[in-house]
Structure 1
Amino acid sequence: MTMDSTRAPHTGQDGGPATTVQRLAPAIHPPRRPDARHAERAGALRLRDSTGGAPLVLADVLAPVLTVAAVPGLHLPTRVLPLLLPLLLLQLVLHTRRGLYRRRLSPSALPELPTLLGHALIVWCAAAAGLASVGPVRVPAWQALLTAVAAQTAIGCAGRGVAHRVARYRAARHPRSTLIVGGGATAQQIGAALYAHPDYGMRPVGVVETGPAAVSDAETPAPQVLPAQLPVPPTQLPVLSTHEDIGRAVIQNTVRHALFVAHGGHGGPGPDDGALVRLLAEHGVRMWLVGRAAESAPTGMPPDHLWGFTVRPLRSAPAHRPQHWGKRGLDICLALPVLAVAAPVMALCVLAVRVCDGPGVIFRQERVGQDGRAFTLLKFRTLRPADEHESATRWSVARDHRMSRVGGLLRRTSLDELPQLWNVLRGDMSLVGPRPERPYFVAKFSGAHPGYPARHRMPVGITGLAQVNGLRGDTSIEDRARFDNHYIDTWSFWQDICILARTATSLFRLGGS
């Protein structure tokens, strides 16, 4: 199927020494277990950052209920009222698809009025059709339906207006730490606007200026972290010039927003800086394009404004949680029958390893999985290492003379990886994803390749896009990381199926591992 490791690169593409690359994240060795209290606090912050989501839903639910109670001619029998519950769900779905629950910096109910009117018309037409199909129930007259549409629109608009006002009040009382990405006059103006108008719910804590013009780590000391309770004028904001400084500032200030005010390139860091976007996304930072960066951005999202500056949300690429659930379901549905079919083959492998190499058929090794969590990977033993240090730090054993013929056959056919199906069922791994590596090499590659830590945004896999494209054996770690991140950014069910099909066709090709 795949191979675990390749030769660690020590030279650049021109044959000279490899260049030093700034680290993407400050963590070197991933923790064995996530801090439950930290995860709970992060979840609470994300919930509070929804900016009035619950009040908006409440207002949208109360609007049709109050309409039925207030409009003459809509007094329906009690037995048909439960049939209106699906219509409430229909309205919530319509509002969600139109983005009426999406976080906005300048929320207002009046621009939403045409959308509310259209959705109310759809809901009450569906209600009339449903009532007509129930049976001997009097369908309200068309005059009553039109009155209901108008009343629901007015009530809904008023309720959402109150919810938006509450959201702005809460945002002013509890502003979130914000980074301004990009320098220049525009960054200073945006910082001044946030400082003067706290109802946007953002408190600037730093300016990000990376790239060739930024000063290196050796020349600039780490910036001081701003106290969370004190507002700081934009001219006194610290400048963050490296990804390590940015990660430290994000954690210590609990940064929740990042405003990109430049296109990138010579104008400063922008949304095309993939490493920076991934770093912010991994810490749960909500990103926005502001000013000229938003005016020319083909995001497909409706524009907003921040004190006259055009604003658009910048979405990062990680798969949504429902898609992760679907991926997990696909893993279980495929791994169970494959494990059942492969059981006789695995039994023969166990017998062969036991007879030829002695006891200790299953090889266990610590690997790094999703979000840096460590887990125990299972394989059939093909070589008994001299000690634990060799097992953790030796890169490849493909040509080790100590390997028996059975071990060599298992590695060439990738049959030694069949026990990883149990890792898939346990939830440690997925069928498709970036290949997991040992903590020693994760720390080493994270310092040499900026995109390597971003591979852990999704569950690790038995096979992956890099492996089916021939990146196994003595191949580039940088190329692997690029393929893995491209897989994560473009994930889909069909892509997983294609990778599994390509893996199946090459399963028994006798290539070196």
Structure 2
Amino acid sequence: MIRFFRHYVPLNLLLLVLVEAFILGGAIYAGVSARFLDANVIPDDLQPLLPKALTFTVVMLGLMTASGLYDLEWQGGVRALLQRLGLSFMLGLVTMSLLFYFFPPLLFGRGAFLLSFGLALLGILLSRALFIRWARAGAFKTRALVIGTGSRAAHIEALLAKRGQAGNVQVLGYLPMGGSHHFVDHDRILDTQESLPELAARLQISEIILAVRDRRGGGLPVPDLLRCKLRGIRILELSSFFERENGHLQLDSMNASWMILAEGFHQGMLRDTIKRLFDLVVSAAMLAVSLPIMVLTALLIKLESPGPVLYRQERVGQGGRSFTILKFRSMCVDAEKDGKPRWAGQNDSRVTLTGRFIRRTRIDELPQIFNVFFGDMSFVGPRPERPYFVQDLTQKVPYYGVRHTVKPGITGWAQVRYAYGATDEDAMHKLQYDLYYVKNHSLFLDLMILFQTAQVVLWGKGVR
């Protein structure tokens, strides 16, 4: 994997994006050249083509990202792939048509554009077919060796089994380090008298993952690990492995000392200033686009059921300070008439008809744009919880309070990576993603989350 602004990006994903960006940009040049092939020259009024090609490439890459076509954990079939690709290009056709209308210099002729559009679609289909074939052949996978066969190593085996061919790591085996209990497949345990450097050289290992809980008293072959590191083999802590592969900090494998010594968890005035400017710009743009939708939603809520249009609720923000969050009311007025807070359930009977739709499309969150303007929230960050749940979860879940070191957000890393949380166990899983965001937050990661939020809205992931 390659790390951009402290966020891990798989090498095969990066190559796919670069190849498809070249295909999209090149399709504009190929389409225009083919359109004016008889004239042997491209008309001067269409020059230069570079701004047109860059615009088309950026628009299509953004729409394809929002459609989930660059989500490596998505394991849909060919039919689902074609559906998402078709949606991306349909939206691309509409978007480019609007851009041509509002920015006439980008226009290069209907015939040339449609020809370029068709070539781009064929090129992307070809690249996807090759990508699927390379993935099945195991191209770009990291050859790894795991030190340990206990419960921690079993977490690695479970992760790789879940991902199947979509994973980025190929574990060649598990090397036992004492102990009689093995929690991994016994056929995968390496029974060898070779030294660790010899074994790594024979198996062509490029990464060693440490999955041993007790490292005192000779629990690890430190001299051999040092020799491997000096030969260019990466040595990876289990916490760092899950951070890279899963995009979260696994609570079972991390500790306070790792959090203190690990890179990340940075806060500062410059970062806060950039974040605040980003929030204001994005929120202003969202407010301009969504204002008609908000007015229509308010009208539908008022017509369907009595009560206020907006729902106000106390939530816990940065530094543990409470604030009032704004949402469109999606439940009946007496949803908690007994005064006891409770999680929202699957197909909750308290949700109104309009409420079910605005929850599915995330329209109920739009009034929180005003919370961002007031400075209580950020556009991207951990979702704020109610004081009742925060107090309860802080006692049950380790490091839960760490999520309050940054401003809460309308959307967040946990929201796009994990389903809706409705239990204490869900809250623990979501915390792992929130901790990853707190550790690695950057403008680049915020932009990624915004694109993936669009995917969540389009495909209704995690709705209750």
Q: Does the pair score TM above 0.5?
A: no
Higher relative contact order (CA 8 A, sep 6+): 1
- Which protein is bigger by CA-based radius of gyration? 1
Q: Which has the higher helix share?
A: 2
Q: TM-score, normalised by structure 2?
A: 0.43
TM-score (norm 1): 0.39
